[in-house]
Structure 1
């Protein structure tokens, strides 16, 4: 046992804390482990605690002791927890430090603190003594969050990579700070009308080219843009503007950097020892050991930390599929079956269920969102129904099918209409979010607009059509930055978005339409009331593949809120096109993606249409309209002369709900 006279025996752990930690049930470890400025015996200093059960000795090194690894030894607890701790007087906030670990296998390591609240700016790697005190002024948002963050509310997410959203125009190599983003980003997202932002991982990461997905500081927002309090100010500013904040979170793997979690105390502490279980071949990173109780406590504590200390409104959990399957991205013989001989990672499944139960149990008005690309059943179903307990799941099938369809020349689309319609076959099996994310505009895939066929006008018309289809399709929405104005170059993390493009009409038109789409989405309950229930959607006609036209209805709680959507998927305007309607009365066009303001050709329906009692597409009434080329038009009932003449009454709605009851929302929802 090593003690230093300059390190005093002091502990923040009770026996109960240790019991919870060993059992994997301590979910506020950030209050205990790490570095904390405290007063002990009348002296202010810093308490340090680190989990290193296979260490023979642990000391704290830093500027305060000249990085002398023999100056400040911590003491090992006597309870077998593997925790080393101690109090060093007269050092406080702002001190840089690491742990010097001598392994019982004979190795020596300098490690950053896994529970550090702040880190040196990369490429430096030391932890910094800090606190997360902040006088929050977003109470109005927090009180009303259930109204803005629920599954039956409009959720349109703007995905942002902070280092490349916008840079200093006078110095393109300089990042905007959290506080500068609190001005510029908040103003822009408010103008565009998105309900939420999602930040690609802000947790400290050494390599900018990982986009934040190779995390070394799980409890520290990256210092590239400022202090923890500066990041809190950004979140607070978004909240005060009525915008929710989701954080990308990576519990699936971590990098092998020398100061990070890998081989932390000379043993495979956080990861599996067997590389068939502990090494990720795709990302050359290491996989958490979800069966180890202390690791589960670390990860679940980290999830709750961002809700507790940073007022996050949700976590988008990265690479869930890689966690669920033992053979993910592995060849035969390169993976270890579970105890039943199967490919399911039972420890990861158990961990994800507990994660979601604890998250929703403590914060019932947040969202847990799974990036999961397989057909694993019940990802967004409650755990008590056998699901994983997420609130939402990315709809990767919709994204792949839709982009594949839109990449086709219009002349061939008549043969592939089922690629667009197939998503509604399974759209209500999960609580789906429709993603057009960063993954679709990197690694040679090009920008979204570059995937579209035709000349410049057709490409931009198709892009507007894609977005309008996305916003009228069941499910919540996510769009990666730059897509909202038709960025033409593939995204690069090293450069700002091409903001100069917005001065040109095609790009300004897309941006104008996205503002109006977000407004339409928020103002029309039919587009969000029943995002995840089959009775919120009805095909009116999906059979006109010859003309590549789709007609469908989105339904709210009341039939007066219904909207009818007509998509013309070829660049040919169609006049006098008849569509069936769910009610008689006067119908008006409330959105058209071909408006001149959007750089469209202006094939719009200026005047309301009175429904004619002519049966069409299975409906008793219909109207004849003009369809814009490569465009979507949305119609809503403005006047209804006689409710009794409607062929769809409130009683019909109630009966349909009984037939198409939803599978169940997530825990806490």
Structure 2
């Protein structure tokens, strides 16, 4: 059922058990709405799905299901076009909902269909609960206009607290933070309960820099503001701008992806239990501080993405959206469909136009007001399927899994609509899907029958590395398994490869560096301590894992803050279970900065690896052409981006004059060597040595070179005539 906000829809009048009148908008069914939409063309879906099938002929038998999905999205778009005055205007509703300043005063509008009465209260009226009653219109929208004071000043002062007071049909009075609030701050007495604030700074932030052009491949530095300091505290937007942005630029990343920006009361939720979707987290600073961060990043040429959470919301009532109007089904599906049993969060009802208005406007808000360049959509797998990927669900790649009754058409239609809006109105923006299921067409343009995302995350890659490091002896590492996992992705659908992101660093897991070297990192990471076999192994494999993941795993690459230099231990936010300690909720940038510690070698390697990718652009080329794997020697060789990559994963065997196939005739020069001393290696290779191709069939190539490849070493060769 679609709930429509339009003035010409008939009203229903109901009376509750206390004889209180409750007005509800009439909600005609979807078929009725579509029958009223003129000019609907049902051939569009068929033509576009045919394009998708051309890319993947295995989808042929599923054309009816694909048609149903695509038409569901088109129906939703048509409905918004007809009743919501078009997707552009509909998605700018943050300028008419919530508290908005006008020339003459402040207009406040709030959707609360389950409430009988509404009042605005706050410091501006000394918390009077009845003086500012809101008027309810026929579409369950409460509104109130507060004119300017006689001297022309605002009726509500900047940075003062406000609340919405609702009277429910049973007479109960409840208080809520406005759903569209742009500033929420912690209650001084109860730090995990938030209060709404009217935010209207006298000097709005003025952006100085334009967004950089959309990169043709992303090298993403994924970061959390609060942990971006070695100090035992919550870091701020300003500190990140000053201390971390220069590091990201130095390391040659071209994209910053920021986590945990949308306001969340529980810090240990890592930002994934959002309460106020339009409010940047106040624990890191002001909205203007965040704007300055993004503006400064743009000035450095960095593209900036927001980790957006539209898959679920926190279940708080005092400072969240749950039971906002007294019901459990305003923004969310009723229980049990509206509850995620693992995350213990609430699931949006994407069939409601008012929910769509809220979410689509939320995306526009972050782009328009903060100049974000796109989004990484969290929890897409949970959205795509009614089972949310839990309860023992396994995704094996069988196409039947994607086209069963378990697919949530409402959520899928919302994601397609969001991508439509973003890419139509903001061609420079990028969208990324966090999806582990591998749904076909997810990252194909809407014009070709897909769902419209630009990239999906290669979520199987870090699982492979943790499995190898934590569960297999090094001599049992399978070169074929590594290559298969790194190249097993859908044709024409771009993947972001990564060894570890924030998920792998959280408590219960640990960083790859700590998996490799464990407690010896505490005592043997100094150049003045002995180089133990475990530290030697860890430093070598850390570099190799990163290089082969970047070179072979996708069309873009991601690193989580601190992992570039082998951050030790794990990530754990202050909470009751750890006595609210900040010991593990920080990134120890002092480690790579110390000239006596070996962390600096990994830091420098990361910089040089990204610099090389910037120069040769292998991420923006066809998938790597693997032409040789040797399980006994533990050697992998492949070509990508006009470069030749050679990996020797053997724990103790080095090979002299090792034969390596190549398709190029001429000179092969080493341009990256993980064994270089500046990267913490042993310097066993003379990088000035030039390697000349020789004719002869080897590894499915007509030419070959011979090279010395030490154990646990990777080499990258460039070609020249």
CA-CA distance at 1:498 after TM superposition = 2.4
Match of 1:548 in 2: 634
Partner residue of 1:485 out of 553, 561, 565: 565
How far apart are the structure 2 equivalents of 1:423 and 1:160? 24
Partner residue of 1:468 out of 529, 542, 547: 547
How far apart are the structure 2 equivalents of 1:428 and 1:550? 23
Secondary structure of 2:509's counterpart equals coil
CA-CA distance at 1:126 after TM superposition = 1.9
Secondary structure of 2:370's counterpart equals coil
Q: How does 1:266-277 map to 2 (within 5 A)?
A: 266-277=326-337
How far apart are the structure 1 equivalents of 2:252 and 2:634? 30
Q: How does 1:522-533 map to 2 (within 5 A)?
A: 522-525=614-617, 527-530=618-621
- Farther off after superposition, 68-77 or 360-369: 68-77
Match of 1:635 in 2: 717
CA-CA distance at 1:341 after TM superposition = 7.7
How far apart are the structure 1 equivalents of 2:659 and 2:708? 9
TM-score of the superposed pair, with normalisation by structure 1: 0.84
> Deviations for 1:591-618, whole angstroms, at most 9, x for unmatched residues?
0111111111223242111112233212
Q: Report the CA distance shift for 1:109/1:434 in structure 2 as closer, same or farther (over 3 A).
A: same
CA-CA distance at 1:121 after TM superposition = 3.6
The answer to whether residue 266 in structure 2 is matched with residue 203 in structure 1 is no
CA-CA distance at 1:540 after TM superposition = 1.9
CA-CA distance at 1:283 after TM superposition = 1.3
> Deviations for 1:292-344, whole angstroms, at most 9, x for unmatched residues?
111011101101211111111110100001111111255599xxxxxx98111
The answer to whether residue 230 in structure 2 is matched with residue 183 in structure 1 is no
Partner residue of 1:34 out of 83, 98, 101: 98
CA-CA distance at 1:127 after TM superposition = 1.7
Q: How does 1:148-159 map to 2 (within 5 A)?
A: 149=215, 153-159=216-222
Match of 1:287 in 2: 347
Segments of 5+ residues of structure 1 without an aligned counterpart are: 2-15, 334-339, 556-561, 641-669
The answer to whether residue 691 in structure 2 is matched with residue 609 in structure 1 is yes
Q: Report the CA distance shift for 1:365/1:285 in structure 2 as closer, same or farther (over 3 A).
A: same
How far apart are the structure 1 equivalents of 2:443 and 2:174? 41
Q: Report the CA distance shift for 1:166/1:631 in structure 2 as closer, same or farther (over 3 A).
A: same
How far apart are the structure 2 equivalents of 1:402 and 1:464? 13
CA-CA distance at 1:36 after TM superposition = 1.9
Indicate conservation of the 8 Å contact 2:118/2:164, yes or no. Answer: yes
- Farther off after superposition, 295-304 or 82-91: 82-91
Q: Report the CA distance shift for 1:450/1:341 in structure 2 as closer, same or farther (over 3 A).
A: closer
CA-CA distance at 1:81 after TM superposition = 4.2
Indicate conservation of the 8 Å contact 1:192/1:515, yes or no. Answer: yes
The answer to whether residue 407 in structure 2 is matched with residue 344 in structure 1 is yes
CA-CA distance at 1:217 after TM superposition = 1.3
Partner residue of 2:164 out of 90, 94, 99: 99
CA-CA distance at 1:88 after TM superposition = 5.2
Secondary structure of 1:613's counterpart equals strand
How far apart are the structure 2 equivalents of 1:510 and 1:539? 26
Secondary structure of 1:528's counterpart equals helix
The answer to whether residue 706 in structure 2 is matched with residue 620 in structure 1 is no
Q: Report the CA distance shift for 1:21/1:61 in structure 2 as closer, same or farther (over 3 A).
A: farther
Q: How does 1:221-620 map to 2 (within 5 A)?
A: 221-257=280-316, 258-328=318-388, 342-407=405-470, 408-413=472-477, 415=478, 417-426=480-489, 428=491, 430-435=493-498, 436-452=500-516, 455-473=534-552, 474-493=554-573, 494=582, 495-502=585-592, 503=594, 504-525=596-617, 527-530=618-621, 535-542=622-629, 544-555=630-641, 562-571=642-651, 572-606=653-687, 607-620=689-702
Indicate conservation of the 8 Å contact 1:158/1:480, yes or no. Answer: yes
- Equivalent pairs counted in the alignment come to 590
Indicate conservation of the 8 Å contact 2:479/2:635, yes or no. Answer: no
> Deviations for 1:8-37, whole angstroms, at most 9, x for unmatched residues?
xxxxxxxx9994189997101110111123
> Deviations for 1:388-438, whole angstroms, at most 9, x for unmatched residues?
21110001122322432344322112x563243343243535210013211
The answer to whether residue 217 in structure 2 is matched with residue 125 in structure 1 is no
How far apart are the structure 2 equivalents of 1:605 and 1:166? 39
> Deviations for 1:546-603, whole angstroms, at most 9, x for unmatched residues?
1111110003xxxxxx100011112232221110111111110000111111111223
Secondary structure of 2:669's counterpart equals strand
Secondary structure of 1:36's counterpart equals strand
Q: Report the CA distance shift for 1:449/1:576 in structure 2 as closer, same or farther (over 3 A).
A: same
Q: Report the CA distance shift for 1:610/1:373 in structure 2 as closer, same or farther (over 3 A).
A: same
TM-score of the superposed pair, with normalisation by structure 2: 0.78
Q: Report the CA distance shift for 1:329/1:586 in structure 2 as closer, same or farther (over 3 A).
A: closer
CA-CA distance at 1:186 after TM superposition = 1.4
Secondary structure of 2:620's counterpart equals coil
Indicate conservation of the 8 Å contact 1:36/1:130, yes or no. Answer: no
How far apart are the structure 1 equivalents of 2:571 and 2:332? 34
4+ residue stretches of structure 1 with deviation over 4 A? 16-19, 21-25, 329-333
How far apart are the structure 1 equivalents of 2:222 and 2:643? 28
CA-CA distance at 1:261 after TM superposition = 0.4
Indicate conservation of the 8 Å contact 2:676/2:682, yes or no. Answer: yes
